[in-house]
Amino acid sequence: MFEHKTQPGWVAVEDFLTTTVVHPDTALVQAVRSAVDAGMPPIEVTPNAGKLLKLLVQLSGARRVLEIGTLAGFSTIWMAQGLPDGGRLVTCEYLAKHADIARANVEAAGLADKVEVRVGAALDTLAALQSEGQEPFDFVFIDADKENDAAYLEWAVRLGRPGTVVVLDNAVWEGAVLDPSIDQVNAPGIISALELMGQHPQLDGTVIQTVGSKGWDGFALARVR
């Protein structure tokens, strides 16, 4: 993965917003620390983005959330905190080591009764969810391997319902959507997903650009028609 470019002012503003408005609790701070201690890549969402996910879960009235890409459970905890009593979040993690850390973080946050971490290739997990006849998901957050973004988006529609909210992270990727040579591994998958979102008859979406500690990036936000 290439290194994101940041500017000091972006990071300083992000830090100000985090401490002034966002206020991540100790469980969230510990989730980030556990990722660092385990040598995980520092690719979790920023605190202000995590808080946005929580608010979107609440604003949409979601009771069932699907997350593709768990890592140490930072975004998982944010979204689970936005769920009502009886709400459920299923999150897909490829690596068993990461899943174990995420489960511990979720439990420490007091959310173990709301969160299920499934281990394995996400495409296999998503197919299994369909075969199990799971209830539709009300909210889907996609933040995993970018090569499969378009496939994950298709699954979000398939496992959702009319009104389901879909968030696709890393939708700008340092401008690689205009110049795939910046990252020939990840950029093509991101571009394919954005093209699919713009053309899909069941999706109505937009993309928001962001800057901060993760560099120049953004996220796509869509609603299933």
Domain ranges of the chain: 8-224
Q: State yes or no: pLDDT of 148 exceeds 60.
A: yes
Phi and psi (nearest 5°) for 206? Answer: -150, 175
Tell me the per-residue pLDDT of 52-62, one tens digit each, with 9 for 90 and over: 999 999 999 99
- Confidence at residue 2, expressed as pLDDT on a 0 to 100 scale: 67
* Closest of 98, 133, 136 to residue 117, by C-alpha: 98
Question: Mean pLDDT across the stretch 39-63?
Answer: 96
Tell me the per-residue pLDDT of 92-114, one tens digit each, with 9 for 90 and over: 999 999 999 999 999 999 999 99
Cα–Cα distance measured from residue 217 to residue 211, given in angstroms and rounded to the nearest whole number: 6
Domain 8-224 has CATH 3.10.20.600: no
Q: Which secondary-structure segment (H or E) carries 191?
A: helix 187-199
Q: State yes or no: pLDDT of 1 exceeds 60.
A: no
Q: Which residue has the tokens 């439990």?
A: 107
| Contact (CB, 8 A) for 92 and 144 | yes
- 102 C-beta neighbours (distance < 10 Å), count: 26
Tell me the per-residue pLDDT of 166-203, one tens digit each, with 9 for 90 and over: 999 999 999 999 999 999 999 999 999 999 999 999 99
- What tokens does 205 get? 């979406």
Q: How confident is the model at residue 206 (pLDDT cuts 50, 70, 90)?
A: very high
| Contact (CB, 8 A) for 205 and 220 | yes
* Closest of 120, 117, 126 to residue 95, by C-alpha: 120
